[in-house]
Chain A
Amino acid sequence: MSRIALACVSIVWMILVATASEARGGQNEGELCDSCRHIGLAFSVEGCPQRSSLSSYRDGGYAASLAFGINVPPHFLVTLNIYTGSQTVPPGRTMPTSGDLAVGGAALEVTYLFGSASSVRPYVAGGLGLYTYLQKTAGGLGYNGGGFHVEPGAQWDISRYFAVRAGAQYSQIRFHNPVGDTSLSPGFEPFVVRLLGPVLRVMFFPSVLP
């Protein structure tokens, strides 16, 4: 329900801005190429509905993120991505705990956008981040980790203010210490999680830098 609420807020927000953009009387026409060259704030909603696992640790899950950052023309975008999501680990897996885990994290991401004559441009993004997997019970066991991700894909600049991205993301996270009720995890051994999955992202740039 909460995530539905977040999705609703995000969608309503996008619609409001889109409506406002339309109300400007088509001023966006002819600005498609310029759009990527403006310095601005990037505000994005990212959905990763299903991540397939390359390791035995994770079996299904999703993450959503919001990003806030700066578009450095003409090729770079630097964002701080905040992640929230859920992960289900069935009993019997080698991960130190099973069940539904809440996923939280933050990553500093740099995107390189390749030049293109059209409004669709390939890109590659990479980032470093911190993550926590935590049991969904109050005071439960969890793990802190850090890692990196890389994400090749394509970005479609819809207008000066909007862009849509689709890509595939590979993440590798090393969980190095337990958090929460650490008494539940005696003899903890660090473990690595590797992920591969699709990423869809809607972005808008509500302002340009002064």
Chain B
Amino acid sequence: MLRDARTRWRSSVAVFLCFLLAASHSLPARAQDTSDVNGFRIALVAGVTLGTVIPVHLYQQHAWWQGQRAPFRFENDWVYALNVDKLGHMYAGYLLSRTFGYTLRWSGFSEHESTFYGSLLGLSYQMYVEVEDGFHKDYGFSPGDAFFNMIGATVPLAQSTFPVLQNFSLKYSYWPSSGYLNSLQQGQQRVFLDDYQGTCVWLAMDPHFLMGPELSRLLPSWLGCAFGVGARDLDGSGGGRRILSLAIDYNLSKIETGSGFLRALFTVIDYFHLPAPVIRLDGSKLKAGIIYP
């Protein structure tokens, strides 16, 4: 029952994220860093956000009223999922902050304001989820999750202050693990966000800033590289093996196009690492693949 409630909760969060992400990146960015808040747009953003968060919260409260609630407590879970879950928290903090930032920019806030408030909103939402976890009988507030929420949420701020960091980004890739697929076949309710054996979180880099102008011209602007961390054979208590990957990465938003739709689409896709040639360190074995998600 608890697992079901948690699964639905995570599903709701995923849907909420996807909706905000898709909506925000379809919006045209402003050229200058000026603040001219549009009342209708900010009301729309606030309405959509609250209209998603409140029902999810009420639903979850209802689930806890079924006897799932416990006194608030902290619980460290550093060994769980070999930190892939922590990197997932960092990615989610980054994604949420970016998404809130884009929606606020669309609403008329200046670039600086939207980045700042976007980070604050992204972190607030994640901390709210963490506090709610603190009241769960079987979970607890995880300081480790909160650490990586903070790191992820401050990435857009640092990128805004130090432009060179804009050459780096966090990305996500997923391929369902056999354990996850088996549990679905057995009728268990699970959500892919908790399938850490199929998850890989990437630090992507656009190497052009390291090259001179001549060398830079030889490499297509949309081509980059990425370093990824994943895990396999997790047992939930520290067992398993890490998978480190070095792969080619695509920055589709660097492709010049006159289509606003394509620009928005490329920007959204760039939050995910697409299948590409890779070298993997799987436990102690070095492997190479032509296409690996």
* A→B interface (CB under 8 Å): 2-3, 5-6, 9-10, 13, 16-17, 19-21, 23-24, 41, 43, 66, 68, 82-84, 102-106, 130-132, 134, 138, 142, 144, 161, 177, 179-180, 206-207, 209-210
Interface residue? B39 (CB, 8 A): no
Instruction: Kindly state the separation between the CA atoms of A131 and B117 in the bound complex, as whole angstroms.
Output: 29
Interface residue? B115 (CB, 8 A): yes
Chain A's closest residue to B162 (CB) is A20
B165 contacts A102, C-beta separation under 8 Å: no
* B→A interface (CB under 8 Å): 35, 70-76, 78-79, 83, 86, 90, 110, 112-113, 115-117, 119, 123, 140-144, 146-148, 150-151, 153-154, 157-158, 160-165, 168, 237
Given contacts A23-B164, A102-B75, 16 further A-B contacts (CB under 8 A): A16-B168, A17-B158, A20-B162, A20-B164, A24-B162, A41-B116, A66-B146, A66-B150, A104-B75, A106-B146, A134-B75, A144-B72, A161-B161, A206-B162, A210-B113, A210-B116
- Measured between beta carbons, the chain A residues less than 8 angstroms from B110 are 210
Chain A's closest residue to B209 (CB) is A23
Chain B's closest residue to A143 (CB) is B73
B143 contacts A83, C-beta separation under 8 Å: yes
Instruction: Kindly state the separation between the CA atoms of A87 and B78 in the bound complex, as whole angstroms.
Output: 15
- Lowest 4 CB-CB distances: which A-B pairs, in order? A104-B74, A20-B162, A2-B78, A84-B143
Chain A's closest residue to B146 (CB) is A82
A41 contacts B162, C-beta separation under 8 Å: no
B147 interface neighbour in A84, A103, A177, A209, Cβ under 8 Å: A84
Instruction: Kindly state the separation between the CA atoms of A21 and B157 in the bound complex, as whole angstroms.
Output: 14
Known A-B contacts A19-B164, A83-B143; A207 and B115 likewise in contact (beta carbons under 8 Å) = yes
